[in-house]
Structure 1
Amino acid sequence: MKRLFDLVMALIAAAFLGLPILIVALAVKLTSAGPALYWSDRVGRQNRIFKMPKFRSMRVDTPAVATHLLENPDQWLTPIGSFLRKSSLDELPQLWSIIKGDMSFVGPRPALFNQHDLIALRTENGVHELLPGLTGWAQINGRDELPIPHKVQLDTEYLQRRSLLLDIRILWMTALKVLKREGVAH
């Protein structure tokens, strides 16, 4: 049921957001060197690596580490990078990952391939059994501000409580947080 929900909603969203996606892609290309999309190696279900697309908000020469690990993250942002991140427009290409089946609308956010502490804690708690999500229980309860152990605690809580109704609640709360631009570090 969840896969059918994800597929139908992703196809509807892609059709509805087609023009804004093209506009953002053009804006990225016009304001910085390099491709509009950045394909990030992420950890999916069963700790398998997959390529997750995002609109590029960082320069092409940015080190491949979590943003919070960069000494001065702002120096790596493209001219529209901060706006893309705060508005979550950089996440729109992930509809492709949902259609493809690498992601769901709701689940734990996919870890970077080199976030070994996060991956290990999620595996220890069984969270690696879930498809990663565009949003999740941890995102609506702190997003970028959460320390890893607390994030995994919330991911584990989602694993234990997951249901279609909870997913709909998380999607609704995500929409509200994105509109308010809450919990985004950069």
Structure 2
Amino acid sequence: MAKRLFDLLLAALGLLLLAPLLLLIALWIRLDSRGPVLFLQERVGRFGRPFFIHKFRTMRVDAPALGPQITIGADARITRAGRLLRASKLDELPQLWDVLRGAMSLVGPRPEVPRYVALYPPKLREIVLSVRPGITDPASLSFRNESELLAAAADPEREYVEVVMPTKLRLAAAYVRRASLRTDLRVILATLGALRRH
């Protein structure tokens, strides 16, 4: 209950304070490339329930037909505006709305697409999906350069499934086991610190 109240207060405050920035980003996306401002994608949420995550669109509208669901290095599908939005993580800001509506939390395991969740080991799946997914978590901080790591692999998809995803799952499960408002605050501060260093 305390975590949900914490999420509601911070998400509402964030949307209110960031409203001018959100509008400027939306305008920039519309001027930069053809297509909608927001990108919606099905992800797997708490208890395995599917939901649609909201992000600012950073790729061409035909991106799903042109490549894999993971982003690899300097992906040619990414728009000019999208490169900066991704690098600064500003594309994730619309997820504050997902927090308000109860589909996500500020801190929690990052939600995956159904295709990859189907590959989760049953024990880890049960743990990771027992809480609301989050905008940030320890695994996200550890893999801020994920697309560059995958770009350096001979087979990026295989590298993600066999190396990156299992490591992220272990970190996510470790977070769930010790989750508290204190740990959430630490993750939020670490995330803000990482963004400032960028």
Alpha-carbon distance between aligned partners in 2 of 1:31 and 1:122, rounded to the nearest angstrom: 44
Q: Which residue of 1 aligns with 2:90?
A: 89
What is the CA-CA distance between 1:175 and the residue it aligns to? 0.6
Q: 2:188 aligns with which of 142, 153, 171?
A: 171
Give the aligned CA root-mean-square deviation in angstroms. Answer: 1.9
Amino acid at match of 1:160: R
What TM-score does the superposition give when structure 2 sets the normalisation length?
A: 0.84
Structure 2 spans left out of the alignment, 5+ residues: 147-162
What is the CA-CA distance between 1:17 and the residue it aligns to? 0.1
Amino acid at match of 2:46: R
Q: 2:179 aligns with which of 152, 162, 176?
A: 162
1:103 aligns with 2:120: no
Structure 1 spans left out of the alignment, 5+ residues: 182-186
Contact 1:121 1:152 in 2 (8 A): no
What is the CA-CA distance between 1:140 and the residue it aligns to? 1.9
> Partner of 1:63: helix, strand, or coil?
helix
Report how many residues are paired: 179
Contact 2:109 2:134 in 1 (8 A): yes
Alpha-carbon distance between aligned partners in 2 of 1:63 and 1:73, rounded to the nearest angstrom: 16
Task: Provide, for residues 30-86 of structure 1, a one-character-per-residue CA deviation record: whole Å limited to 9, x for no partner.
Answer: 000000000111110011110111000010001174324x6x752101111110000
What TM-score does the superposition give when structure 1 sets the normalisation length?
A: 0.89
Alpha-carbon distance between aligned partners in 2 of 1:135 and 1:95, rounded to the nearest angstrom: 11
Task: Provide, for residues 142-178 of structure 1, a one-character-per-residue CA deviation record: whole Å limited to 9, x for no partner.
Answer: 3353711110110010011101000000000001112
Alpha-carbon distance between aligned partners in 1 of 2:48 and 2:196, rounded to the nearest angstrom: 31
Identity, % of aligned positions: 40
1:42 aligns with 2:59: no
Alpha-carbon distance between aligned partners in 2 of 1:26 and 1:122, rounded to the nearest angstrom: 44
